[in-house]
């Protein structure tokens, strides 16, 4: 199927993406993967993640490339009235818009949702992503993923006694905020089919960080006990942890007594399942350290990868702990098309499947302003008007240097 023939579940949708960095771009890349047309409106300096590197390839940073495929780029100076008029024209037939400006910025530009966007575009779904939301004691403050991980308690439950609290190695709060935002936009669009009206939807890093605290928050609500730094282990399930083997570490996720019995048989220690210390998960929790010592000794001389294959075949969740080359070249990764390549671009694939209208990486991450001319022409601007916008640097041809 060629890109021109592509019909995804969101084909026909037009989304104006004013967001930068990660949460918003991750949201719109996902919606673009599903067929929506994403017009990425960038400030004259460009999305700052274009400079977040190395590594770089063909002038694009890996960070920017990872969350900006399936988009068109328009450089636009929204700080000037003429730039805002261009945006308003683009919104006339848009299904949704998204931005992650500091609260009050859109209002300062006379683009506030309640005052301007809602009355002018009553069917528009407008998504606002922020650090802490617009109200409350922290409302309006800027936020980055690491700060959200810290203040929302995620760092406090990650790590072990030796390491102390640790930031997670991926920007999990930013990514989850983007996914929550995508869900909210789609939910608002479903409701619009009933009411005929769009609405404002909000997502922020703080609320997302709190929402991600399962099961630690649920445990604290019920017991009042502080979570402990237990590394890879699970606070509610044993054995659910990383274990060393002769060929590298593996992870065992034994979720019930039946799986534990099967594990013991696969390890050639069926009597372990009959040990009174390990009969139930509650028993195994009470004797966590003793069971770990037994399993470490049993696993020490095994081929971890082969063992994991045997355990999976026996219905026991297990897997080797792979590095980037290990997972991104894994036969299952490739079979599931979770690595995509197009015109020199390589990225992770679309993680959801549709039986009739699959997602697709149709276009590579755009060069800054690469689509400005075509976007403006489609919006009805004449050649002379576009030239005037470029001459006035309202639609910059190149990124403006940050001073």
What b-and-e string marks burial along 339-357, b requiring 16 or more CB atoms within 10 Å of the CB? ebeeeebebebbeeeeeee
Burial of residue 143 (CB within 10 Å: 0-12, 13-18, 19+) is buried
Write out the two tokens for 122: 């009553």
CA distances from 164 to 150, 157, 161, 231, 390 (A): 13, 9, 5, 9, 53
| In contact, 211 and 218? CB cutoff 8 Å | no
- Helices 172-195/23-33 angle, 10° precision: 60
List of residues 6+ apart from 177 with CB closer than 8 A: 23, 27, 129, 203, 204, 205, 208
H/E stretch holding 160: strand 159-160
Other C-beta atoms within 10 Å of 378: how many?
12
Sequence length of the chain is 403
Write out the two tokens for 123: 């069917």
| In contact, 37 and 331? CB cutoff 8 Å | no
List of residues 6+ apart from 257 with CB closer than 8 A: 279, 280, 281
Catalytic annotation on 271?
Answer: no
| Spatial separation of the C-alpha atoms in residues 180 and 196, rounded to whole Å | 23
Given 33, 77, 145, 174, which residue is catalytic?
A: 174
Is 193 strand, coil or helix?
helix
Write out the two tokens for 300: 């020490």
| DSSP, residue by residue, 38-80 | EEEEE-TT--GGGGS-S-EETTEEHHHHTT--SEEEEE--TTS
| In contact, 40 and 73? CB cutoff 8 Å | yes
Q: Which residues are catalytic?
A: 174
């Amino acid at each position: 199927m060629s890109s021109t023939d592509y019909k995804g579940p969101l084909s026909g949708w037009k989304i104006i993406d004013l967001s930068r960095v990660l949460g918003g771009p991750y949201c719109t890349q996902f919606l673009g993967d599903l067929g929506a047309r994403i017009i990425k409106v960038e400030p004259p300096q460009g999305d700052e993640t274009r400079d977040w590197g190395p590594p770089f390839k063909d002038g694009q940073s890996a960070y920017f490339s990872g969350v900006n495929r399936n988009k068109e780029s328009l450089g636009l100076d929204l700080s000037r009235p003429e730039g805002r008029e261009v945006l308003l024209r683009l919104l006339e037939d848009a299904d949704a818009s998204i931005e992650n400006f500091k609260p009050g910025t859109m209002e300062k530009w006379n683009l506030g949702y309640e005052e301007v966007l809602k009355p002018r575009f009553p069917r528009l779904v407008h998504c606002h992503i922020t650090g802490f939301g617009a109200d409350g004691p922290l409302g309006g403050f800027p936020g980055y993923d690491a700060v959200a991980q810290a203040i929302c308690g995620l760092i406090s439950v990650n790590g072990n006694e030796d390491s102390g609290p640790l930031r997670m190695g991926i920007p999990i709060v930013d990514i989850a905020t983007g996914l929550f935002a995508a869900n909210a936009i789609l939910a608002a669009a479903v409701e619009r089919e009933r009411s005929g009206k769009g609405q404002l939807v909000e997502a922020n890093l703080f609320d997302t960080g709190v929402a991600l605290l399962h099961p630690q928050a649920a445990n604290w609500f019920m017991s009042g006990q502080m979570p402990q730094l237990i590394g890879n282990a699970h606070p509610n399930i044993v054995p659910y942890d990383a274990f060393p083997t002769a060929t590298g570490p593996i992870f065992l996720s034994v979720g019930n007594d039946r799986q534990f019995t099967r594990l013991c048989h696969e390890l050639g220690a069926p009597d372990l399942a009959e040990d009174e210390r390990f009969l139930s998960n509650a028993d195994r929790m009470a004797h966590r350290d003793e069971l770990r010592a037994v399993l470490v000794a049993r696993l020490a001389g095994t081929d971890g990868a082969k063992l994991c294959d045997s355990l999976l075949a026996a219905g026991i969740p297990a897997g080797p702990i792979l590095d980037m080359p290990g997972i991104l070249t894994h036969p299952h990764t490739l079979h599931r098309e979770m690595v995509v390549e197009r015109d020199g671009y390589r990225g992770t694939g679309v993680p959801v499947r549709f039986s009739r209208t699959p997602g697709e990486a149709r276009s590579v991450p755009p060069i800054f302003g690469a689509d400005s001319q075509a976007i403006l022409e489609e919006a009805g601007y004449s050649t002379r008007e576009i030239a005037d916008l470029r001459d006035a640097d309202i639609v910059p041809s190149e990124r403006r240097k940050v001073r």
